Structure 1
Amino acid sequence: MTSLAARAEVVKLARELDTEPENLAFLLDSDPTAIRRVRQRMHHSLDAPYRPMFQRLAKVSALLPNVIAISIATRFFGPLLCGMIASSLSPERARALIGNVPVGFLADLAPYVDPEAAAPIVREFESQVLVPVMRELLRRKDYVTLARFLVAATDRQLLDVVPHIDNAEDLLQVGFNAELDTVADRFEVVLAQLPDDRIRAIVASAHQQDRFAEAFTFLQFVSDTTLARVADATVDMGDEVLAHMVESIHRENAWAEMIPIADVMSPINRQLLFELPVWTDEMLTALTRAAEANGRGEELLDFITEASKRLE
């Protein structure tokens, strides 16, 4: 187990507690599943007593004309209360209201919406409604909120909105902050459809912004075919990028995440990987142990052995 998943969970827990992730750094060595359970239980415990009130307010809003309901909500209720109520609206009512709500206010209330509860509503929206709000959240770098809604969006919605995410780093950050246990299948939906130039842009961003760690957290959930595209793109970008990936893996102790990447490489590209001068005895030992623990020792043994001989 590496600290990558725990780091992502700490960021989300800090958001729930309205504090900075640095204040929860003592949790980085904890089981990420345990951190996630604490966060989810805390959220539901705080929300449950007020849920009947939110449902009553949602019903009352249906008695008002759209313009008046939006005016009251934006002027008197505020984004927090509106976000809590939003999950209790019917899809039809939400669709009728959203066209009258300013994009900035929608972005303000989005962090307070329960994506799982609101999934039937979110799935009713067309991409022309979702894209402006997504762009505003990206401008604010609110990756946690965007990542939470991966569980609510349909495959079609994802494929419609992803082309509007111009910055490859934004894609990396959204993936890093996702609820990995509930949206693992969504990474394949998105990455499998990305053209090669977008794949290369993501790898380039991981290199330039030192974000390989973020990429490792979700690449473990894609198919071998898609992972091979990412691996080949990394090799094609040259030794500097490939060496940076290995150094990032070493720094994050993410050798278990590297094994599938090396496994799907072509023999030529795998040889290029292990011929890099960046390898040390410590790295090769850590990789060997991770490979053996994952039952893949023999698959990489020849390449590891050859790399070890060059260090003698």
Structure 2
Amino acid sequence: MSEHLAAVAEITKLARLFGITDPTELDFLADLPPAAVREYRERVTDRLFDRDAKRLKGIATTSKIVPVGISSKIAERAFGPLLCAAIASAVEPQRAVDIAKALNSTFLAECAVQLDPRRTAAIIAAVPPKMVTDVARELLSHGDHITMGRFVHVITEPALRAAAPVMSDTDLLRIAFFLEDKTAIDNVLHVVADRVPGVIRAAHDHQMWAEGIDLLDSIAPHNHAWIGDIIAALGGDVLDALITAVAELDTWSTLLPITNAMSHDSLRLFAERPAIHTDTVLAALITAAADHDLWSQALPLVDALPDTTKPTLAALFGDLTREQLLAAVLTASRGDNIHTLVDLALAQDQEGRTRVLALIDDMDGIEEFLTALTPDTPDTMWQALIQVRDDIPARLQTLLAERALELGRDDDAGELAPLGTTAN
């Protein structure tokens, strides 16, 4: 998750702990690392639960000798949700579940709001699926996605499957945003795989792209391909809205790994969308690739973009620092997109083109660059190099000519060889 989105989620959960109904009152914390906000929230929770730990443990011990039916009545009528939540972690899990079975779902939902999942994971894992479903229904009737998100990672898969039908696609999206343990998202996706298109569509229909992008950021790499293909199949309106949101939220670092895993046809559909062809969005894309060294994910998308975007991309490429250019060249040399990078380099004006060619000539890993030129390298790239040969440094010209010969491209080698020399 981006730092901004993570901060929003953590601040919202902290506001809940403090009983603040408008989380924006805590926006002054947004500049802090999200991990720091979370640590503070957990310390406050610990303070609340630990201040009377000895007395609460005594109450829990006493409850062992009281019949379950009586314990449940005491819990509901005398203790209330907050005290019950505080005592819960000191009660043996099965005993706690037996008491809970005698309580109504409304009271259980009120208790769940107060529970600390770090202390009650064993209890939650032992709760029967039907009870989880009833409590989930009650929480969602009040729009409480925070509590749901805090406990998903400790709910068993059968319970999750039982509760999923009471959650709308929008509910699933909001719950995912507030997950206490983001690694749980992949298990959730496994359970509700058939509903993923609806969840992504909900992000579009309800202007919830921050939550949608956070969902994409949280999934494991092995899920990127099929979810990427689902996104591409949702239609142009969804793709355009997603692209615009990613540019505005500066979260290309989240989307690029998804597009990189898409099938060829899905990537083509994505690259055809007008929203990505604007100068502003292209600038955000190249800036993200350069700032976060995401060239291996960005270059396949750049290669799929239409030729009409090439002048803008070339200009953006020319504005990169020497270090950023070198990183791009090295990445392209180690992958299958060297022709994409060379096309951008040669599409610049003469000054920019000369700069990039000089950088390649001077790079320590020039052998990797040359090796990346293979029998599959498009003819158009060799022709483009020949057209700008006067701008290519003599050493690089010689090396390119030699590589062309190795690949059996004798005519290209002869054209590329510096004047006064012959390719051999």
TM-score normalised per structure 2: 0.68
Percent identity over the alignment is 31
Of 296, 302, 305, the match for 1:304: 302
Q: 1:281 to 1:95 in 2, by over 3 A?
A: same
| Aligned residue pair count | 307
Alignment partner, residue 350 of structure 2? none
The whole-number CA distance in structure 1 between the counterparts of 2:204 and 2:220 is 22
Alignment partner, residue 16 of structure 2? 15
Give the match's secondary structure for 2:192: coil
Alignment partner, residue 207 of structure 1? 204
Q: 1:151 to 1:302 in 2, by over 3 A?
A: closer
Give the match's secondary structure for 2:31: coil
Q: 1:272 to 1:74 in 2, by over 3 A?
A: same
Give the counterpart letter for 1:190 in structure 2: V
Alignment partner, residue 143 of structure 1? 145
Give the counterpart letter for 2:86 in structure 1: M
Alignment partner, residue 118 of structure 1? 120
Alignment partner, residue 82 of structure 2? 80
Q: 1:281 to 1:25 in 2, by over 3 A?
A: same
Output aligned runs, 1:99-114, within 5 Å: 99-114=101-116
TM-score normalised per structure 1: 0.91
Of 186, 189, 193, the match for 2:187: 189
Q: What is the Cα deviation at residue 304 of structure 1?
A: 2.9
C-alpha deviations, 1:246-289, integer Å up to 9, x for none? 11112222121111111111222222212211132222222222
The question of 1:249 aligning with 2:246 is answered: yes
Could you tell me which runs of 5 or more consecutive residues in structure 1 were left unpaired when the two chains were aligned: none
The whole-number CA distance in structure 2 between the counterparts of 1:277 and 1:297 is 22
Alignment partner, residue 291 of structure 1? 289
Question: Stretches of 4+ moved more than 4 A in 1?
Answer: none
C-alpha deviations, 1:155-191, integer Å up to 9, x for none? 44334432x2340010011110112xxx233111121
The question of 1:168 aligning with 2:205 is answered: no
Q: What is the Cα deviation at residue 91 of structure 1?
A: 1.4
Does the Cα contact within 8 Å between 1:200 and 1:233 map onto a contact in 2? yes
C-alpha deviations, 1:45-73, integer Å up to 9, x for none? 23222122221111122222222222222
Give the counterpart letter for 2:52 in structure 1: Y
Give the counterpart letter for 1:174 in structure 2: I
The whole-number CA distance in structure 2 between the counterparts of 1:158 and 1:302 is 37
The whole-number CA distance in structure 2 between the counterparts of 1:210 and 1:176 is 14
Does the Cα contact within 8 Å between 2:72 and 2:102 map onto a contact in 1? yes
Alignment partner, residue 135 of structure 2? 133
Does the Cα contact within 8 Å between 1:58 and 1:85 map onto a contact in 2? yes
Does the Cα contact within 8 Å between 1:6 and 1:32 map onto a contact in 2? yes
Give the counterpart letter for 2:256 in structure 1: I
Q: What is the Cα deviation at residue 290 of structure 1?
A: 1.9
The whole-number CA distance in structure 2 between the counterparts of 1:141 and 1:260 is 32
Does the Cα contact within 8 Å between 1:249 and 1:255 map onto a contact in 2? yes
Alignment partner, residue 93 of structure 1? 95
The whole-number CA distance in structure 2 between the counterparts of 1:87 and 1:111 is 14
CA root-mean-square deviation: 2.0
Could you tell me which runs of 5 or more consecutive residues in structure 2 were left unpaired when the two chains were aligned: 314-424
Alignment partner, residue 216 of structure 2? 219
The whole-number CA distance in structure 2 between the counterparts of 1:206 and 1:299 is 24
Q: What is the Cα deviation at residue 31 of structure 1?
A: 1.5
Alignment partner, residue 385 of structure 2? none
Give the match's secondary structure for 2:66: coil
The whole-number CA distance in structure 2 between the counterparts of 1:59 and 1:121 is 16
